[in-house]
Structure 1
Amino acid sequence: MKQIIITIVLCLTFNLPWVSALNVQKTEPAFWWSGMQNTELQILLYGNDISTDNVSLSASDIRIKEIVRLENPNYLLLYLDLTETAPQQFDIILKKNGEQAVIPYQIKDRKDSPAGAQGFDASDVLYLIMPDRFANGNPDNDRVSGMLENKVDRSDPFARHGGDIQGIENHLDYFTDLGVTAIWLNPILENNMREGSYHGYAITDYYAVDPRLGSNQEFCRMVEAAHNKGLKIVMDMIFNHCGSEHFFFKDKPSDNWFNFQDNFTQTSYQTMPQMDIHRSDYDKTKSVDGWFTESMPDLNQRNRHVATYLIQNSIWWIEYAGIDGIRQDTHPYADFEMMARWCRAVKAEYPDFNIVGETWLGSNVGVSFWQEDSKVAYPRNSYLPTVMDFPLTNLMSYVFDEETNEWDRGLAKIYDYLSQDIVYANPMNLLVFLDNHDTSRFYKTTPSSGLNRYKQALAFLLTVRGIPQIYYGTEIVMAGDKANGDGALRNDFPGGWKGDKVNAFTPAGRDSLQTEAFTYIQKLLRWRAGNEVVAKGSYTHFIPRNGVYVYERRLGNRSVVVLLNGTDEKKMLDLAPYREVLPASSANELLSGKNIRLDSSLSLSARDVMILEF
C-alpha cells in the first residue's frame, strides 16, 4: 500500500498547500485545545475529491461524532468529541483506493495559552487603528510574492500604504503615554483581493494574519507586549461576509454556504427589518441575505456548519493570541439567532470577555434592540454585551456647533437624547465615539470651528456614560470628510513611515495647534485612567438653562460635575438649581488646575468646559 505522510509545522505556518496523491490542501483549525467548555470540535478538510475518503483517528480517547460529506466532493467536515481528551498529538487518517494520507493534529494544553481575554468596559478608552495607515515598522513585508494586490502607493487613498503590526508594536509606549488603555485594530486577517485590500474587510483566510501586515507570530508577540504595558487588544471580526477570493467562494462547499450565491443580490443596507414587526419577508431577506458588495459574498449563518466554523474561529483567536475583546462588523446584517449563539459560546469560555457589535442604526430604539437583555427585543435576546451608540455620534457631529439657548438646538439635544436611556438594558455598555474609519472625522478645519468645539466634545465623550473610543489621529486633530471618499478618513499618521517630513509621534514634530490638542486630550485620558467615578458612577443631568448643560457622575462619596457652555457668549450661571450636586463651597477644576468658588453664581467663558471634582 502506498502511504503519504503529511507534516504540519504547528504554530509556524498555517494552511499551506500540501502535495499528496489525496491532495489535502487545508485543515482548519490547524490545532485546538483540551479543557474547553464546549467539547465538540469541527475540523474542516479541503482537498481534491476527498469527500468519499474513509476517515479514522489514531487517538483512543477522541470519538468521531459525525462525518459530513457536502455536495462539493472537495470538502470533509469532521465533528470530534473531546470530552475525555488529554493534550496530545494524533493523526487523522484518510484512505481511498489503496492510498493513505496521515494528517498530524495537535490538541494543546489550555493552560499554556497566553494571558488575555480580560474584556473591556467603561473604565477603558479604546484607540481605533487602521493598521495599513498607522505606521510601517517592517518595509520588507510591503510587497509579498503571490498576493493579488502587491503594490504600495501612499499617494493613492485606495491603495495599500504599508502600515503593519510591527509599526503598531513600535508605538506601544506612545499609547501608554497618551493615556488610552486598549487598542482596537481594524481587520488584520488575510485579504488577498485584487484591489481595496488595505481596509481588511474582505477576508480570504480566517486563520492567518495578512502577510503584508505581518505573521500570526508577530501578532501574538505584539499582543503580549501590549499586555506587558497594561494595554488590551480588541480584534475586528467579520461574520457577515468574506472576500470573493476565499476558497469557500471560489469552490463553494454546498449550495447553501452563501446567500444568493448563484445570483448576486446586494443588501438594501436597511437593517430595521430585523426588528420591524410589520416587515415584509422580501425586505428582511434582502437586508440580511443580500451581499454587502459584489466582492464580499454573504455567508449563510443559518447553515449549521458555517455557524460552527465562525464561532470556532473567534474562540481560536482568543485562545491562541490572548486578545481581550472583539468588535463584530455589520452585526445586524447576519442571522440574529446564530449571532446570539456565538455571543453565548464566547462568554461560556471567557466570562470576562466583551464583544461590541457594529449597530449602525439611526435611533436609540433601533440600537437598543441589539443589546443583551433588551426590553425592546424581548423575548428574543442577542446576548451581545456592547452596542455602538451611532445616534449619539450623529448628534455630537453638529450640536457642539449650535447655540443652546433654544430648546431644540445644541446641547439641549444631548440632554433630550440621554433622557431616553431607559430604552437601553445597560447604558454603560454603549461604545461612544466622535468618529471612526467609516465617518467623517470630527475635527473640522473651518476657521469657525477651532479647538473650542473639539475640547467640549472630548470632555463630554470622556465623562459621559459608556465606553469611549477615539480614532487614531484625533489627538493631533487629523481631519477628513467622507464626501471626499473613505480614503480621506484613513490618512497616514505623520511620522509612521521612514522619511516622513513630520513625525507627530514626538512633541517636536507637532505644531502649536497639535500640541495644544494633544496636551488637552492627554490630560483628560490620564485623569480618566483608573477613575472609578466615570467608569462606574451614576449619571445625573439637568435640563440646559441659559445655554449651559450640567451633569454629575457619582460613586459613593466621590463625584465629578461637568459644566458645558454651549453658547458663544460669556454666561453667569445661577448655581441654585444645582446645589444637589455641589456638596462643597469650592472644588478643584481639572482642566485649569484652579480651585473654583461655588457661591451663588459661576462665570463661564464662551464655549467653556469645567470639570469639578468633589
Structure 2
Amino acid sequence: MKLPRLAIFVALVVVALPLPGCSKRPGADGGAETVASRTTSSNPATPSAGRAAVWNHEWIRGAVFYEVFVRSFEDSNGDGIGDLPGLISKLDYLNDGDPATASDLGVDALWLMPVFASPSYHGYDVTDYETINPEYGTNQDFARLVEEAHRRGIKVILDLVINHTSAQHPWFVASASSPRSPKRDWYVWRADDPGWTQPWGGSNRTWHERNGAFYYGIFWGGMPDLNFRNPEVRAEAERIAKLWLDRGVDGFRLDAARHMVEGGPGAAQNDTPETHAFWKEFSAYVRSVKPEAVLVGENWSETAVIATYFGSTAAVPGGDELPMNFDFPLADAIVQDVNAGDGARIAAKIAEVEADYPPGVEDATFLTNHDMVRLATQLGNDPGKLRSAAAVLLTLPGSPFVYYGEEVGLGNGPTRDDESKRTPMPWNASSGGGFTTGKPWFSFAPGQEAANVAAETGDRGSLLSSYRSLVRARRDSAALRLGAIELLSRGGPVLAYVRAAAGERVLVVHNLGAGAVRAGPFAVAASATEPLLIDSGVPEHPAGASGAFTMELPPHASGIWRLR
C-alpha cells in the first residue's frame, strides 16, 4: 500500500517499519449508528456451495516473482513515463522463454503494481477498475503483455486494491452526494466523528468529513474505504476479479488485506473475524473461476498474525483464505542479519514459520518492496552484503519476490519521499538511463554509472550475475525450489541448512560476516558432494568425512552442494 505524500506518517527508518494496510467498518465504539450497520447484514455471506473446493496452482511452488512498477521500468514513447509497451520490450531480460540461455534473469512471474486508472502516480487510489491507466497504455496493450509473457512462460499477477478507492471514483462521488444515493452504502458513513486514529500509531484520524457527514478512510481522506459489509460491494469485488482473470491474469496481490472490515477503534481496525470471512468468500469465488490463480496477501504484521490469513488447510489444501502471504518478519530478519553478520534472527524466523504456518502453504519471501527503503541503501551499497542477501533469499523455502532493480543494486533516490523507492530502472549509464529518450518522470538514483544492467551484464562477479546464477540453481534443483529445510546453525556469521525434496538433498552454507570463516563441522550424512553453485574462493568439495563436513568461506560468500 502506498500513502500519498500528504498522508505520510513517521518516515520509515532504515529497516522499514510496517506500513499498515487499511480498515473498514463502523460504529463498534457505541457511537452514532452507521449507514452500514443500518442497511446491510453484519457479516459477509459464506462462500456459495458448489464453488471449487481446491486450488490447482502448483506453478507457485518455489516460483520466482519479480515486482514491477510500470511507471519506472521502460518508456516506449519518450514521455518519461514507463508503460506497458516498454515492459513488453524488456520481457526477454526477465525470461526469454529458453531454459538453455543464461542472459535473462529467469523469473517465473510478474507482479505489476497498480495499473488501473488513477489520479496518483502510484496508482493505489483507483478511479476505474476496468481500464488500464492511459499513461501506461490501453487494455489492448495489456492483452498483448499477457500474451507475450505467457509465451515466455511468465505468469502475470495484478495489484488489486479493493480495500478503498480514490475519492474521485464515481462510486464515491455518488455516495457522498446524498444520504439517499444508491451508492451511499458502498462506503462507510456515520453522522459524527468517533475520533478513531490509525491503528499503527500517531494522531491521524480515520474518519473524514464530507457534506456534513463522516466517512471512513484508514489511510487518508483521499482514499475512502469500501464497505465490505455490503453484499453489493462484495459482489462487485468478485466481478472485477473475474473480469481480469478472464483477461488472462494469473492472480492478484491483495493490498491492505488486514483491513477489509473494521470492528472499532485502535487495533480493532485490523484482522477482524469479518475480514477473514470476506477473504474466505473471495478466495472460494476465485477458485471457482480459475483454480490455477493465486492470491498473495499483504498482511504487514508478525508471523503469528500472518499465519491466520492462510485459513484452513484441512478445508482446502494450501489454505481456504489466501494461499500466499508476504513474510515481512523474515524480510526484516534477513536485512538485519546481513548487516550484522550474524544469522540468528534468520534462523529464529525460519523456526517460527515452521511452527506457526499451517502445513502445505507457500511462504512469499522477499527482501524489500515499494514501501521500504531500498535494499542497497539499507546495506550501505556493500557488494558483499548485497550478494549475501540475494543468496539467502533465493535458497530459503518459499516463493521469492525480487523488487525491480534489486538485482543490480539499485538504491534509494535523492529524496526522502516514497518516489525515491521507485526510481526509473537503470538500464545503462546514459542521461536517460536506457529507460527513456525524454526526461524521466523522476530522477535516477545515485550510483547509476555503476549500478545498471549494461555495466553488470557480462561481468561474472556482478550482482546481476549472482541473481541470474541463483535463479538458475533454483530452477535446476527440486530441493531448492520445493524442499523442506533443516537448520544446521542458529547464530554467528555462518548460516547453514539442508534442503531436501524429490530424492535430492543440498547443503547450503553462507558466511554473512566481513571476515573469512571456517564453517562446520556439519552433521550431514552423505558419501560425496557435488558443487551446485559456489562463490569465488569457496572449495568445490567440503573437507572431512560424512557427518563432519567443513569448509573455508571468504567474507560474504556462499556455497551450495548436492549431497550424494
Q: TM-score, normalised by structure 2?
A: 0.73
Which letter maps to 1:296?
M
Counterpart secondary structure, 2:189: coil
The answer to whether 1:519 aligns with 2:465 is yes
In structure 2, relative to structure 1, the CA distance for the partners of 1:428 and 1:516 (3 Å cut) is farther
| Structure 1 residue corresponding to 2:403, chosen from 445, 451, 471 | 471
**Which deviations, in whole Å up to 9, do the C-alpha atoms of 1:279-316 show, x marking residues without a partner?**
xxx9xxxxx95432211111001100011011111011
The SS at the match of 1:444 is helix
* Counterparts of 2:122 and 2:193, CA distance in 1: 22
Q: Report the Cα offset of residue 606 of structure 1.
A: 2.6
| The 10-residue stretch of structure 1 (296-305 or 535-544) with the greater mean CA deviation from structure 2 | 535-544
Aligned to 2:111: 184
Deviations for 1:70-102, whole angstroms, at most 9, x for unmatched residues? Answer: x9xxxxxxxxxxx9xxxxxxxxxxxxxxxxxxx
Equivalent position amino acid for 2:84 in 1 = I
Work out whether residues 126 and 183 of structure 1, in 8 Å CA contact, stay in contact via their aligned partners in 2: yes
Aligned equivalents of 1:545, 1:432: Cα separation in 2: 21
Q: Quick one: which amino acid aligns to residue 254 of structure 2?
A: Q
Residue 420 of structure 1 and its aligned partner are, at CA, apart by 1.6
Determine whether 1:369 maps to 2:328: no
Answer yes or no: is the 8 Å Cα contact 2:485–2:500 preserved in 1: yes
- Determine the structure 2 residue equivalent to 1:165: 84
TM superposition shift of 1:531: 3.1
1:414 maps to which of 334, 338, 346: 346
Distance 2:405 2:491 in 1: 34
Letter in 2 for 1:393: A
User: Which amino acid in structure 2 is aligned with residue 165 of structure 1?
Assistant: L
Within 5 A, what are the aligned runs for 1:105-184?
120-139=59-78, 142=79, 161-176=80-95, 177-184=104-111
Question: Which of residues 577, 601, 604 is equivalent to 2:553?
Answer: 604
Which residue of 1 is the match for residue 435 of structure 2?
Answer: 496
| Bigger-Rg structure (1/2) | 1
Q: Please show how residues 217-236 of structure 1 align to structure 2 within 5 Å.
A: 217-236=140-159
Secondary structure of the residue aligned to 2:401 is strand
Preserved contact between residue 427 and residue 465 of structure 1 (Cα < 8 Å)? no
Report the equivalent of 1:572. Answer: 518
Q: 2:241 aligns with which of 314, 336, 352?
A: 314
Show the counterpart of 2:46.
Answer: none
Distance (Å, rounded) in 2 between the aligned partners of 1:265 and 1:178 = 51
2:297 counterpart residue number? 357
- CA offset digits 1:516-567 (Å, max 9, x no partner): 1111111111222253222221111123365322101111331121111233
Kept after mapping to 2: 8 A contact 1:435/1:442: yes
Tell me how far apart the structure 1 counterparts of residues 294 and 470 of structure 2 sit (CA, whole Å). 24
Q: Distance in 2 between matches of 1:544 and 1:365?
A: 21
Q: Distance in 1 between matches of 2:151 and 2:76?
A: 20
- Of residues 257, 267, 270, the one that matches 1:331 is 257
CA-CA distance at 1:208 after TM superposition: 0.8
**1:185–1:382: structure 2 CA closer, same or farther, 3 Å change rule?**
same
Shift of 1:505: 11
State the shift of 1:351 in Å: 1.6
| Residues 236 and 179 (structure 1), Cα distance of their counterparts in 2 relative to 1, 3 Å cut | same
Q: Counterpart of 2:107 in structure 1: which amino acid? A: V
1:428–1:467 Cα contact (<8 Å) kept: no
- Aligned residue for 1:233, secondary structure, equals strand
Determine the C-alpha separation between the residues in 2 that align with 1:290 and 1:382. Answer: 28
Question: Any residues of structure 2 matched to 1:16-415 within 5 Å, and which?
Answer: 120-139=59-78, 142=79, 161-176=80-95, 177-191=104-118, 193=119, 197-252=120-175, 253-260=182-189, 268-270=197-199, 290-319=217-246, 321-335=247-261, 336=275, 337-361=277-301, 363-373=302-312, 383-403=321-341, 410-415=342-347
Deviation of residue 179 (structure 1)? 1.2
Give the Cα–Cα distance (whole angstroms) in 2 for the partners of residues 238 and 325 of structure 1.
13
Distance change (3 Å), C-alpha of 1:317 and 1:445: closer
Q: Deviation of residue 165 (structure 1)?
A: 0.7
In 2 relative to 1, CA 445–514 (structure 1 residues): closer, same or farther, beyond 3 Å?
farther
Q: CA deviation at 1:573?
A: 2.8
> Cα deviation per residue 1:409-452 (whole Å; 9 max; x = unaligned)?
x31111112112211114751111000101111113876x5211
1:552-600 deviation per Cα after TM superposition (whole angstroms, max 9, x unaligned): 111133112111123333222342x4223xx133331513486314315
The whole-number CA distance in structure 1 between the counterparts of 2:231 and 2:339 is 49
Contact 1:533 1:560 in 2 (8 A): yes
| Aligned residues of 1:587 and 1:612 also touching (Cα < 8 A) | yes
Looking at structure 2, the residues matched to 482 and 398 of structure 1 have their Cα atoms a distance apart, in angstroms, of: 23
Q: Deviations over 1:305-352 (max 9, x none)?
A: 011011111011101x21112101001110312222111100122122
- Letter aligned with residue 607 of structure 1: H
Contact 1:136 1:167 in 2 (8 A): yes
SS in 2 for 1:347: helix
Structure 1 residues 505 and 224: CA distance shift in structure 2, 3 A:
farther
- Residue by residue over 1:213-248, the C-alpha shift from the partner in whole angstroms, topping out at 9 and shown as x without a partner, is 111111011100110111110111011001111110
Cα distance in structure 1, aligned partners of 2:414 and 2:223: 21
Whichever residue aligns with residue 540 of structure 1, its letter is E
1:485 aligned to 2:417? yes
For 1:370, the aligned partner's letter is Y
Distance change (3 Å), C-alpha of 1:360 and 1:269: farther
Q: What residue identity is the alignment partner of 1:608?
A: A
Residue 460 (structure 1) aligned with residue 383 (structure 2): no
Task: Tell me which residue corresponds to 1:433.
Answer: 366
- Change in 2 beyond 3 A, CA 1:509/1:564: closer
1:235 is paired with a residue whose SS is strand
The amino acid that maps onto 2:561 is L
Q: TM-score, length-normalised on structure 1? A: 0.67
- Does the Cα contact within 8 Å between 1:589 and 1:596 map onto a contact in 2? no
Q: CA RMSD in A?
A: 3.3
Instruction: Give per-residue Cα distances to partners, 1:472-492, cap 9 Å, x unaligned.
Output: 001110011798120110001
SS of 2:552 mapped into structure 1: strand
Residues matched between the structures, number: 447
1:462–1:264 distance in 2 versus 1, CA, 3 Å: farther
Indicate the SS of the match to 1:199.
coil
Distance across 1 between alignment mates of 2:329 and 2:414:
17
How far is 1:608 from its partner? 2.4
Query: 1:595 aligns to what SS in structure 2?
Result: coil
Identity %: 26
Post-superposition CA distance 1:187-227 (Å, at most 9, x none): 10111x2xxx1111111011111111111111011100110
- The AA in structure 2 aligned to 1:204 is T
Contact 1:476 1:515 in 2 (8 A): no
Identify the residue that residue 500 of structure 2 maps to in structure 1: 554
Instruction: Provide closer, same or farther for how the CA distance between residues 426 and 170 of structure 1 changes in structure 2, counting only shifts above 3 A.
Output: farther
Structure 2: gaps (5+ residues): 1-38, 40-49, 51-55, 96-103, 176-181, 202-206, 208-214, 262-274, 427-433
1:542 match? 488
Residue pair 1:327, 1:356 contacting (<8 A) in 2 also: yes
1:613 aligns with 2:562: yes
